[in-house]
Structure 1
Amino acid sequence: MFYSTYYTSPFGLLMLGSDGDNLIGVWLEGQKYFGATVDEDMAEKDDLPVFAATKKWLDKYFAGQKPAISDLPLAPIGGAFRKVVWDILCEIPYGEYITYGDIAKAVAVQMGKVSMSSQAVGGAVGHNPISIIIPCHRVVGANGSLTGYAGGISTKIKLLEHEGVDMSRLFVPTKGTAL
């Protein structure tokens, strides 16, 4: 059984998902792949301890604090490859960013491969079910391109600015498939 509740953030309404004990999702209303990792209906249940802890975490984050990702019991649903990518995302420090290529290199090392496709990594990053907390918004293209955020590029920019990221080397591409 899966459960949901809602949280009103400065960037819009968020739906939180849980298996009863762990956080399995944080989705921005209207985002691409909204709820995609959950194959069954979620019953609305506002009083789960994991939801209270997540809302407190989000309150701190949006107040400009830097709550630790490890403070929450995360259990994103996905295959082994995606979970490796999501674990790497959790290591990106607040207020910083890395490239898809950097993640691809780290995944290759962890999986004992010579190389890894940045596009494959981009797919896993884009399907991250725990937005904001697992910070997929901190991933950019090799040239500083702000692409590939399921919640929309404008939200990605707002999240990076909220964290005080130096945006001077980052830009929104005028064309591309990952806008």
Structure 2
Amino acid sequence: MASWIPTVAAVGMAVGPPLVYVDQAVSIVRKKDSTGFSRDVCAILLIANITRCFFWLGNRFELALLIQSLLMIVAQLALLYICVRYRPRVSPENFGASPRPLSFWQWHAYAQYIEFLAGFILCSAILFLIFGRSELYITILGFVALGLESTLPIPQLISNYKQRSLYGFRASTLLGWVGGDSFNSRYVQCSNCL
């Protein structure tokens, strides 16, 4: 096997998944409307990737996957900002009404999302300092990160069902999810063979 193939695959693995959301972000900015894209997707990816970073501290996996998590966090923070900025005029948070407890992840200001994520990181860091030497705790972190990320399409499906439309959701994002999972499976399979 050519020596450059693993390097190209690692770069693709690190950069590809965050780039999936560029088309979605451009579409929202162009329309000045985030209707159709569920911000809960950002929540899942942010929480899962932050958790994966803490998992990496306890169980060092490939550097390309850590870089992917860090880039995904940056990409989702940017996409979340765009979604909040261009949210529909008729949305629960604009009227102070949300069916969720504490209006979770339907807050009015971007700063509220950042405050939640800072608190989540702080709590995760404290728990890691307390339990970070426990193999069981590290394993649980890995399962939580992976399990949470596997629920990624669910909030988008719910959003599309409630709207009875796919308006605002980019097919490129869906193709990126399917293609990314396929590439990820093949990448892990090939890296285990080396």
Q: TM-score range by the shorter chain?
A: under 0.3
Task: Please identify the structure whose Cα radius of gyration is greater.
Answer: 2
| Structure (1 or 2) with the greater helix fraction | 2
Q: Which has the higher contact order (CA 8 A, sep 6+)?
A: 2
| Structure (1 or 2) with the greater strand fraction | 1
The alignment's TM-score, normalised by the length of structure 1, stands at 0.27
